[in-house]
Amino acid sequence: LLSACTLGGLAHAGMVDDAVKRGTLRVGMDPTYMPFEMTNKRGEIIGFEVDLLKAMAKSMGVKLELVSTAYDGIIPALLTDKFDMIGSGMTLTQERNLRINFSEPFIVVGQTLLIRKDLQGEIKSYKDLNDAKYRITSKIGTTGEMVAKRLIAKAKYNGFDNEQEAVMDVVNGKADAFIYDAPYNVVAVNKAGAGKLVFLDEPFTFEPLAFGLKKGDYDSLNWVNNWLHQIRNDGTYDRIHTKWFKK
């Protein structure tokens, strides 16, 4: 045991070390989450988190490779080494934290609602939706879905593979409300909503978003957390945040 300790140079130093040796940081994401990761008209993946990850890769001196992965299977994909890290607007939940490690949060969000226009006044909070006569939608595998099932358990729930379809169900009047992270709904209410949706914008959950790493990889966690500390204080974070969230 003692000799193993003195052979520190042979110790596995984790995903950041691997990325540096490879020359590429591979990040798993589901690019459907506006304005964090989304596909533009030219087919490029852009967004707030994408810019953070570009800056992270630059600090490592490596190229960034985005690995598109369905949100539902993103933790298993990390655990089976399809990529090095999850960067997909992932809420740090205690349940997920039993399976993976999380960096420090890079932003805090919460659940909000997009409701059918004609329910304005009738539905003032998520509590008013907790009735068997209402139908709510969200995306499969997300905290939107978990919160719907936990806090709005009496309503009928319908999960979709992507956010856009779930929003369209409300726009088309097939469902009454879409439950999702506030930043997504800010964009969606104007994009898909166009006078058909009302945004109940008061977040009713506390959801830190963080990067997901494999368990046990404390060297990489140290690197990522120190990097976050640096960019929060050297202007990098503010510059990127202003670019995507400026009113």
The site for ligand ARG, by CB under 6 A, has a size of 15
Find the shortest distance in angstroms from Cβ 235 to ligand ARG. Answer: 26
Residue with tokens 């719907």, as numbered in its chain: 148
Neighbours of 246 (CB within 10 A): 6
CA distances 216 to 101, 171, 180, 210, Å, are 8, 44, 31, 17
* Nearest distance in Å: CB 177, ligand ARG: 17
Q: Is 69 in the site for ligand ARG (CB under 6 A)?
A: no
Complex with ligand ARG: residue 49 or 176, whichever CB lies closer: 49
Interface with ligand ARG includes 237 (CB under 6 A)? no
Q: Which residues contact 224 (CB under 8 A, 6 or more apart)?
A: 16, 56, 85, 103, 211, 213
Q: Binding residue for ligand ARG (CB under 6 A) from 143, 185, 205, 236?
A: 143
Q: Does 37 bind ligand ARG (CB under 6 A)?
A: yes
Q: What residues have CB less than 8 Å from 172, skipping those under 6 apart?
A: none
Q: At its nearest, how many Å lie between ligand ARG and the CB of residue 207?
A: 6
Q: Give the burial class of 78: count Cβ atoms within 10 A of its Cβ; 0-12 exposed, 13-18 middle, 19 or more buried.
A: buried
User: Is position 103 an interface residue for ligand ARG (rule: CB under 6 A)?
Assistant: no
Q: Which of 29, 55, 78, 166 binds ligand ARG (CB under 6 A)?
A: 29
Nearer residue to ligand ARG within complex by CB, 169 or 181 = 181
144-203 residues in contact with ligand ARG (CB under 6 A) are 181
Q: Tell me, residue by residue from 79 to 98, as one string, x for binding to ligand ARG by CB under 6 A and - for no binding.
A: ---------xxxx-------
Q: Which of 181, 188, 225, 186 is nearest to 203 (CA)?
A: 181
Q: What's the count of helices (H) and strands (E) in the chain, helices before strands?
A: 10, 14
As a whole number of angstroms, the distance between CA 149 and CA 228 comes to 33
Task: List contacts with ligand ARG (CB under 6 A).
Answer: 29-30, 32-33, 37, 71, 88-91, 142-143, 181, 207, 209
